[in-house]
């Protein structure tokens, strides 16, 4: 790229495009060697989006652990950890060494970025649930590195307990409301999926939710309205002794419609983990669109298959109306036996092989026609 050929773009112009922001642009730079030029291709854009989305998901999960852990240094110790924890902690030490080696090699940021990505992949592949101490140790180191790399303008390197980068949490006005109804939703889902559906307990769960007073605060109004509506709907279903499926449908509507329209998503996880509260980002929008298209394609394929089957059934029904006694009474044949099976055509007597084939067709039509007559009489 060169200014004389006019095949370059400025950082300011790039940031004005919807697919780029300051962080994603820095990620694109880090994915390439500092001494090389950058050609913005579809491949680079996808690699950038993939790396950022991977880190977003990692930080969302680890921030959730940091928010809910009961101890300041995280629950559990290395000595108490299981085999998965030991594996992740070993991977963390390996990543530290490899990243240090990469940075000493003329600031080889492509390798450094791959080291971070591989560590997160290892973290996501843990076969058992990790101890909080393992999660926080891994997340704090990754947080520190991405902050050093300039990927978090609000990052504070003096805060060694910090987890995640800024900009991936839900809006501040939404938090007290969304976290409250998310917890209610989690408890509700557990209750309705239990062996016995206790409507009294469900009513108590809804009544136990205390939303904060934010009178006059317009920024929190939409979150309050959704929360209050959900609580009232739960109470109404409990009072009406609704079926479990009705409560689950209400939970799905909160997740897929009401909160989604406010830019918030509840990512359900395997029990006993609560739903992960996260903002709606580009990756989620793309995923939902892909699911929608797949669902529509499936419906279209089903409709096409049903239409083809209906047409076959119609043709079969029309064919069934024809009597086996008359099916061969056409100009193709000159003589027939008493059952209507051809014996002679313009070339003379029909060969035995052909008569045998026609007899089989006649038998099939006889069976089909008699079944149609039986159905007609019924």
In this prediction, residues 123-137 reach a mean pLDDT of: 93
Helix 109-124 with 22-30: angle, nearest 10 deg: 110
pLDDT of residue 312: 93
Banded model confidence at residue 306, pLDDT cuts 50, 70, 90: very high
Rg (CA), the chain: 34
Neighbours of 341 (CB within 10 A): 19
pLDDT of residue 16: 65
Please determine, for residue 3, whether its predicted confidence score (pLDDT) is greater than 60.
Answer: no
pLDDT of residue 81: 52
Closest among 316, 317, 313 to 376, alpha carbons compared: 317
Q: Which residues contact 249 (CB under 8 A, 6 or more apart)?
A: none
Record the tokens describing residue 32, joined without a space.
């390439």
Is it true that the peptide bond before 272 is cis, omega within 30 degrees of 0?
yes
Neighbours of 139 (CB within 10 A): 23
pTM of the model as a whole: 0.70
Contact assessment for residue 164 and residue 143, using Cβ atoms and an 8 Å cutoff? yes
Coil, strand or helix at 276: strand
pLDDT of residue 12: 66
pLDDT of residue 377: 66
- The 3-class secondary structure across 19-70, one letter per residue, is CCCHHHHHHHHHCCCCCCCCCCCHHHHHHHHHHHHHHHHHHHHHHHHHHHCC
pLDDT of residue 50: 92
Q: What is the C-alpha to C-alpha distance for residues 354 and 334, in angstroms, rounded to an integer? A: 15
């Amino acid at each position: 790229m060169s200014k004389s050929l006019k095949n370059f773009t400025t950082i300011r112009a790039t940031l004005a495009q919807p697919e780029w922001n300051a962080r994603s642009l820095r990620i694109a730079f880090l994915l390439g060697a500092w001494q090389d030029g950058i050609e913005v291709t579809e491949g680079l854009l996808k690699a950038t989006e993939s790396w950022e989305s991977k880190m977003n998901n990692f930080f969302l999960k680890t921030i959730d652990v940091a928010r809910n852990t009961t101890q300041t240094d995280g629950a559990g110790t290395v000595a108490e950890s299981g085999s998965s924890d030991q594996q992740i902690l070993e991977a963390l030490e390996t990543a530290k060494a490899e990243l240090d080696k990469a940075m000493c090699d003329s600031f080889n940021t492509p390798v450094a970025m791959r080291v971070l990505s591989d560590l997160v992949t290892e973290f996501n592949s843990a076969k058992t649930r990790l101890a909080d101490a393992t999660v926080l140790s891994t997340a704090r180191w990754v947080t520190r590195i991405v902050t050093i790399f300039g990927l978090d303008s609000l990052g504070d390197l003096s805060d060694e307990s910090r987890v995640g980068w800024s900009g991936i949490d839900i809006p501040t006005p939404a938090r007290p409301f969304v976290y409250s109804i998310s917890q209610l939703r989690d408890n509700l889902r557990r209750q309705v999926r239990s062996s016995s559906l206790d409507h009294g307990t469900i009513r108590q769960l809804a009544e136990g939710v205390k939303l904060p007073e934010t009178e006059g605060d317009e920024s929190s109004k939409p979150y309050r309205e959704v929360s209050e509506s959900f609580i009232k709907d739960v109470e109404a279903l409990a009072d009406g002794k609704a079926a479990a499926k009705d409560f689950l449908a209400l939970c799905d509507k909160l997740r897929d419609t009401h909160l989604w329209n406010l830019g918030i998503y509840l990512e359900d996880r395997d029990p006993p983990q609560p739903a992960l509260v996260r903002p709606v980002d580009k990756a989620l929008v793309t995923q939902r669109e892909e699911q929608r298209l797949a669902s529509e394609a499936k419906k279209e394929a089903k409709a096409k298959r049903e239409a083809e089957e209906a047409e076959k059934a119609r043709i079969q029904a029309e064919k069934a109306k024809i009597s086996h006694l008359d099916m061969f009474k056409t100009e193709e044949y000159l003589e027939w036996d008493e059952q209507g099976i051809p014996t002679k055509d313009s070339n003379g007597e029909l060969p035995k092989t052909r008569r045998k084939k026609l007899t089989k067709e006649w038998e099939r039509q006889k069976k089909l026609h008699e079944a149609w007559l039986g159905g007609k009489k019924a």
